[in-house]
Chain A
Amino acid sequence: MLNIAKDALKMGLVLLVICVIAAGALAYVYSVTQVIIDKNELEAEKKKRQDVLTAAVRFEEKDVEGKKYVTGYDTENKIVGSIYKTAPKGYSGPIKITVGVAPDNSVTAVVITKLDQTETPGLGTNVTKPKFLGQFKGKKGNELKLKKDSGTIDAITAATISSRAVSNGIKNGWEQYIKDMGEKK
């Protein structure tokens, strides 16, 4: 009886010691890496804003109708455009899209980084390439749809689902944006 209790105590103690050491090590690593992870994410976000509104030097976040928009200003404090985000469902999970819109309501640029999507490598991931995203520049409304859906965007061959998800996502986001922002102008 005494032996069993002693064994159990020993096992408990060994496990406890190992768990404490493991927890301590993890806490330390977490405190160091979390700072870097947050910083990376912030910088990635900044870079995306800059990429879609190249002329902007200052950004301001705005809440319109409960949705977040970002407005960019140039050096003379003039509005160069706004940014909206959308995350339509792609072939395998959501695709996070950052879209810049000029004051005349046409799209300035679209950014999807590799981290923003989980599409099939080699096929769906081509939606992140400038060759595809560049097509959206300067377009508005129904032009933002795929040619197959009577718009003006060429789908990526063999990745129609991903292409359609992106173009429809941009278009739906654009309509929402016009609805939210239109009344203010």
Chain B
Amino acid sequence: MEKLEELKLVVSSSPHVKSDETIEKIMYTVILALLPAAGAGIYFFGINAVTIILLSIITAVACEALMQKAMGRKIAIKDGSAVLTGLLLAMNLPSNAPWWLVVIGSGFAIIIGKQIFGGLGFNIFNPALAARVFLLISWPVQMTTWPKPATLFSKASVDAVTGATPLGLLKSELLLKNNIGEAANISVVDMIIGNIGGSLGEVSAILLVLGGIFLIYRGYISWHIPASFIGTVIIISAIFWFIDPARYASPLFHALTGGLMLGAFFMATDYVTSPITPKGMLIFGFGCGFITILIRLFGTYPEGVSFAIMLMNLVTPLIDKYVRPSLFGEVKKVA
């Protein structure tokens, strides 16, 4: 406990978090930064996306209030952290997820992922991610049936057409034909604006990057984790792409598809579950990127962002322990 308090002190004294910032302000700014990408999800996947986002947020807030009451804590749903968790989880779900999946996932995020560990500041995993992984392992069928994007106003029935995500397509083509096959034909423009299959909030790479840059500009997150995370994915995938472009997709493909942008800017940067020093953040981001690309290239799952961030969440205390900021005047030991 003492250790944690100590570490938290360091958080509040970091240069980029100004003293007049409250949890509330941080949370609502992050939510604001997510909204454009969520909007893109609604545009591409229609009314279902709205229902899922609302349902997820309402469940998260209700569970937060219930648990805080049951465990005798102060009810603090106004701080926006439950809203953010609900929104993040919704953005990590396929747009045709059944209602019970959303409710169970959102409840799991708050109850098991957060409150059981002691509430905000004590959770070891990012709650939304823990819930996503829980859902993915529990209901692989529902979690990997992706509707094809059909814009809000075109009446092409949203439920009927399902297809693989670019990464899913990549994996199955590789299994069948031993090359990247049709995955090479997906247009880069579609990947940038988000006209591809995937979770409802992860598809629009450009809006996620804009949201992330806004947060960096405002000083709410630092550039270290997103840069080293995305950088690692790009560099490693580029190496394999140069070796054998017939079997490995381009670094651009890996950067723009799946949950990389959403994960790197909005989930890996969670204050509670990521390291506090710039050096620690760079190591954290590198680890996330390395595990992600390892799973994508050699694993059985097509996508690995959420597993990677969760695994790195686990080693965050270790990173913090070994990459402590040195005190002023302290002599560095010769390594």
In-complex A–B contact (CB below 8 Å): yes
Chain A contacts to B: CB under 8 angstroms: 148-149, 157-158, 161
| A158/B140 in contact, CB under 8 A | yes
Q: Chain B contacts of A157 at CB under 8 A?
A: 140-141
Determine if B334 is an interface residue (Cβ-Cβ < 8 Å): no
Q: Chain B contacts of A161 at CB under 8 A?
A: 300
| Closest B residue, CB atoms, query A161 | B300
What is the 8 Å Cβ interface bit string for chain B, positions 288-323, against chain A (1 contact, 0 not)? 000000000000100000000000000000000000
Determine if B151 is an interface residue (Cβ-Cβ < 8 Å): no
| Closest A residue, CB atoms, query B172 | A148
Given contact pairs A148-B172, A157-B141, a sample of 5 additional A-B residue pairs in the complex whose CB atoms are under 8 Å apart? A148-B176, A149-B176, A157-B140, A158-B140, A161-B300
Q: Pick 8 A–B contacts, CB within 8 A, sort by A.
A: A148-B172, A148-B176, A149-B176, A157-B140, A157-B141, A158-B140, A158-B141, A161-B300
* CA distance in complex: A149, B172 (Å): 10
- Cβ distance A159 to chain B, nearest Cβ, rounded Å: 9
Interface of A is mostly: helix
- Cβ distance B265 to chain A, nearest Cβ, rounded Å: 30
* CA distance in complex: A134, B324 (Å): 61
Chain B contacts to A: CB under 8 angstroms: 140-141, 172, 176, 300
- Cβ distance B302 to chain A, nearest Cβ, rounded Å: 12
- Cβ distance B137 to chain A, nearest Cβ, rounded Å: 10
Q: Chain A contacts of B140 at CB under 8 A?
A: 157-158
Q: Chain B contacts of A158 at CB under 8 A?
A: 140-141
Q: Chain A contacts of B172 at CB under 8 A?
A: 148
* CA distance in complex: A161, B141 (Å): 15
* CA distance in complex: A157, B176 (Å): 17
By CB atoms of chain B within 10 A, which of A149, A157, A161 has the most?
Answer: A157
* CA distance in complex: A158, B142 (Å): 10
| Closest A residue, CB atoms, query B145 | A157
| Closest A residue, CB atoms, query B137 | A158
Q: Chain B contacts of A148 at CB under 8 A?
A: 172, 176
| Closest A residue, CB atoms, query B143 | A158
- Cβ distance A184 to chain B, nearest Cβ, rounded Å: 35
* CA distance in complex: A148, B173 (Å): 10
| Closest B residue, CB atoms, query A157 | B141
Q: Chain A contacts of B176 at CB under 8 A?
A: 148-149
* CA distance in complex: A6, B214 (Å): 85
| Closest B residue, CB atoms, query A149 | B176
* CA distance in complex: A49, B176 (Å): 34
* CA distance in complex: A161, B299 (Å): 13
* CA distance in complex: A158, B141 (Å): 6
| Closest B residue, CB atoms, query A158 | B140
* CA distance in complex: A20, B155 (Å): 83
- Cβ distance A4 to chain B, nearest Cβ, rounded Å: 51
- Cβ distance B136 to chain A, nearest Cβ, rounded Å: 10
* CA distance in complex: A115, B243 (Å): 44
* CA distance in complex: A158, B300 (Å): 11
Closest 8 CB pairs of A and B: A158-B140, A157-B141, A158-B141, A149-B176, A161-B300, A148-B172, A148-B176, A157-B140
| Closest B residue, CB atoms, query A123 | B140
* CA distance in complex: A148, B176 (Å): 8
Q: Chain B contacts of A149 at CB under 8 A?
A: 176
- Cβ distance B139 to chain A, nearest Cβ, rounded Å: 9
* CA distance in complex: A45, B214 (Å): 68
* CA distance in complex: A149, B176 (Å): 7
* CA distance in complex: A99, B224 (Å): 58
Q: Chain A contacts of B300 at CB under 8 A?
A: 161
| Closest A residue, CB atoms, query B141 | A157
- Cβ distance A58 to chain B, nearest Cβ, rounded Å: 43
By CB atoms of chain B within 10 A, which of A148, A149, A158, A161 has the most?
Answer: A158
- Cβ distance A154 to chain B, nearest Cβ, rounded Å: 13
Q: Chain A contacts of B141 at CB under 8 A?
A: 157-158
* CA distance in complex: A149, B173 (Å): 10
* CA distance in complex: A161, B300 (Å): 9
- Cβ distance A119 to chain B, nearest Cβ, rounded Å: 14
* CA distance in complex: A9, B176 (Å): 69
- Cβ distance A146 to chain B, nearest Cβ, rounded Å: 10
* CA distance in complex: A176, B300 (Å): 29
- Cβ distance B39 to chain A, nearest Cβ, rounded Å: 32
- Cβ distance B178 to chain A, nearest Cβ, rounded Å: 13
- Cβ distance A65 to chain B, nearest Cβ, rounded Å: 31
- Cβ distance B312 to chain A, nearest Cβ, rounded Å: 26
* CA distance in complex: A161, B172 (Å): 12
- Cβ distance B140 to chain A, nearest Cβ, rounded Å: 4
- Cβ distance A68 to chain B, nearest Cβ, rounded Å: 32
* CA distance in complex: A157, B142 (Å): 10
